[in-house]
Structure 1
Amino acid sequence: MSRRATIHDVAAAAGVSVSTVSKAVNGRYGVAEHTVARVLDVVERLGYESSLVASSMRSHRTGVIGVLVADFEPFSAEVLKGVGAALRDSRYDLLAYSGSRQGGSAGWERRSLSRLSGTLIDAAIMVTPTVIGVTSEVPIVAVDPHSGRADLPTVESDSYGGALHAMQYLVQLGHRRIGFIAGRPDLRSSEARDAGYRAGLREAGIPADPSLVRVGLYQPEIVREQALALLQQRERPTAVFAANDLSALAVIEVAGELGLRVPQDLSVIGFDDVPEASRVHPALTTVAQPMRRLGAVAAEFVAALLAGETRDELHVTLPTRLVVRGSTAPPAGPGR
């Protein structure tokens, strides 16, 4: 069996001092960004785990459950509220940790777990994690996961069913040219929403039109570019289904800039039901996923694992529901 990589191995391979490796791995100041990137690349290649993990073999617990998120955006914020509510009367404290400072770099989840496991947290809830390659000496539950390890407990919403329901509603209103702003292709939920969109077209006998599908990656600026291209087509869509609410809100903004009225000229549906969805005008029709419930179930799941309980169901899928508001209406004009 090969020996575990040490901090000295990392320092030698990266051509830096041991203290520089320690600073880079633990996110301390005083190391240039390009040096940090080089060190973290070596860490990933060698499979090095910091002393925080090495010291986690102690017998006592911290009483803390960590929640790792890529960023504190509306979805993860709502999930965090659900985790907090579920743990409020428990003996566990909550530690929220964001990987946004690392720019979403590959392997940030693993490095974060290495820093936190054992010395700071007893277990982790990972929101939209890159599951592939993630290992830990503490229990992990993933919320809205990427495809990856089948043995990792997961909690997610019925993205396929929610997307199909949204499409059925638009078809019932009379829409035939329905655009789609897709999300991140590396997320299982995003793939499911794409599949639900296409299934809705097939069910209604509407031919799929590649020109009506754009990939926004859940990034507002990219969504705006894609929405602009979509809505400036000679035969523009009469409705747009966006894979999340923030993308849908960006579509509404672009429509307004082009002089299109929502919903008179363009119907828009989102997915999530973040708080902002009901505050805009017109209020956004959306597929509501139980974000706080996702967090609560994940917290209950991880608490059970810490208690040594076995769960019959390793993967939990929660239902979604369509919330009809003011951003949708029948298409206007003849032949539309």
Structure 2
Amino acid sequence: MGRRPTINDVAEAAGVSAATVSKAVNGRYGVASHTAERVLQVVEELGYESSLVASSMRSRQTGVIGVLVADFEPFSAEVLKGVGAALSDSRYDLLAYSGSRQLAPEGWERRSLSRLSGTLIDGVIMVTPTVVNVNADVPIVAVDPHTGRADLPTVESDSFGGARSAVDFLIGLGHRRIGFVAGRPDLRSSAARDAGYRRALAEAGIPFDPSIVGVGNYEQESAREAARRLLAAPERPSAIFAANDLSAIVVIEVAHELGLEVPRDLSVVGFDDIPEASRFSTPLTTIRQPMGRLGAAAAELVVALMAGEEPDPTHIRLPTRLIRRASTAPPA
């Protein structure tokens, strides 16, 4: 059979009506056990799958949890793996969805939710959403949310403590001129990493210097522009802390383009510990945030909410830790 099997194909092969197939597939009353077994065997043989939309119209549930992301970049991919692992032994399927940001660069979550909630998914996990004041007919959990008010349940890492540890580590190596490539200004994590950077400098008695701070927006091109400006300055930093690993890797690439050697001429620390951090040509010293655990915690929260429970706490912050590799050394 070249086309996708239909409910009528199953009915014909099993010798029953389409209504009987529907009852058997959905476990409803009124079908003899031996008939249901025959129908389910044919379903397995033909590879028939009922429509999620049709199922939701009948039962008001789909058994699907949606994960909404702006892009499938390393951070969201690792979070998604954590969600999948947490749901692997559950009765829920996972739907990863990334809507077009060209139509809605800010507030893409609302557009995605309006398309999916109520028909395709029973709960939602939003990863690095630009807004959290969204309404939907299903429970919602936000991972690494927007800087604004967050009435939704949230899961995030200790970005402030992690950034502070990163800069403390560089100061401990002897660096005093420490640059910073910041992240997305609209995210709470980015603001916290900025605050952690400044706190570590202040505690060490090092004045904050805005001339060695650039905004990378957690994106490669923006990070490249910031790195070029910082490293081409007459008094360039001897070390740079980047708000995510992708930006830190870009800093190292730009340093090599300018003839600088890492870590002899420049130390670099990132944040995330994505898989590429340890595989890069100069393995990256970074702050490890538990991205898989972020996803798993979000999955546990949304499942509890879907079951009508009131989990405590509903705002979860997970610890981070420094992972030392080859991209850092005392200043020359």
TM-score by length of 1: 0.80
Q: What is residue 198 of structure 2 aligned with on the other side?
A: 198
Contact 2:107 2:131 in 1 (8 A): no
RMSD of aligned alpha carbons: 1.8
1:120-135 map, 5 Å: 120-135=120-135
Range with bigger deviation, 103-112 or 84-93: 103-112
**Distance of aligned partners of 1:229 and 1:215 in 2 relative to their CA distance in 1, 3 Å threshold:** same
Contact 2:56 2:120 in 1 (8 A): no
Q: Secondary structure at the match of 1:269?
A: strand
Write the distance in 1 (CA, Å) between the matches of 2:287 and 2:98. Answer: 26
1:223, distance to aligned residue in structure 2 (A): 1.1
Q: What is residue 62 of structure 1 aligned with on the other side?
A: 62
Contact 2:57 2:119 in 1 (8 A): no
1:128-207 map, 5 Å: 128-207=128-207
1:77 aligns with 2:77: yes
**Distance of aligned partners of 1:56 and 1:62 in 2 relative to their CA distance in 1, 3 Å threshold:** closer
> What is the one-letter code of the residue matched to 1:168?
D
Write the distance in 1 (CA, Å) between the matches of 2:212 and 2:163. Answer: 16
1:221, distance to aligned residue in structure 2 (A): 1.2
> What is the one-letter code of the residue matched to 2:320?
T
TM-score by length of 2: 0.81
Q: What is residue 231 of structure 1 aligned with on the other side?
A: 231
Write the distance in 2 (CA, Å) between the matches of 1:286 and 1:103. Answer: 35
Write the distance in 2 (CA, Å) between the matches of 1:218 and 1:152. Answer: 24
- The unaligned stretches of length 5 or more in structure 1 are 1-52
1:213 aligns with 2:213: yes
1:225, distance to aligned residue in structure 2 (A): 1.3
Write the distance in 1 (CA, Å) between the matches of 2:189 and 2:104. Answer: 18
Q: What is residue 260 of structure 1 aligned with on the other side?
A: 260
Q: Among all aligned residue pairs of Structure 1 and Structure 2, give the percentage whose two residues are the same amino acid.
A: 75
Residue deviations 1:243-296 (CA, integer Å, cap 9, x gap): 000000000000000000000000000000000000012100000000000000
1:104, distance to aligned residue in structure 2 (A): 5.5
Q: What is residue 98 of structure 2 aligned with on the other side?
A: 98
> What is the one-letter code of the residue matched to 2:311?
R
Residue deviations 1:80-132 (CA, integer Å, cap 9, x gap): 00000000000000000012454652222111111101210000000011234
Write the distance in 2 (CA, Å) between the matches of 1:77 and 1:139. Answer: 22
Q: Secondary structure at the match of 1:270?
A: strand
Contact 1:71 1:100 in 2 (8 A): no
> What is the one-letter code of the residue matched to 1:270?
G
Corresponding pairs, count? 280
Contact 2:245 2:286 in 1 (8 A): yes
Q: Secondary structure at the match of 2:194?
A: helix
